[in-house]
Amino acid sequence: MAGPAYFALTIGYSYDCGGAHPDGGTIALVYDLNTGAPANWARLLPKALIDSTSTDSAGDGTTIGLIASKTLQKIYAREALAHGDADFKTNCADVVSQDGLTFQVWPDAKADGLMLVPDLPHVVLACGDPQVVSVQALKNLGVGAALLSAIDAAHAAAPNTTH
Enumerate the β-bridge partners of residue 57: 63
pTM, two decimals, is 0.84
DSSP annotation string for the chain: -B-SSEEEEEEEEEE--SSSS-EEEEEEEEEETTT-SBP-HHHHS-GGG-SEEEEEE-TTS-EEEEEE-HHHHHHHHHHHHHHS-HHHHHHHHHHHHSTT-EEEEEEETTTTEEEEEE---GGGGGG---EEEEHHHHHHTT--HHHHHHHHHHHHHSTT---
Residues in the chain: 163
What is the tens place of the pLDDT at every residue in 36-89?
999 889 989 999 999 999 888 876 777 888 999 999 999 999 999 999 899 999
Q: Find the mean pLDDT for residues 131-152.
A: 94
Residue 162 has pLDDT above 60, yes or no: no
83-136 per-position pLDDT tens digit:
989 999 999 999 999 889 999 999 999 999 999 999 888 778 888 889 999 999
96 or 27, greater pLDDT = 96
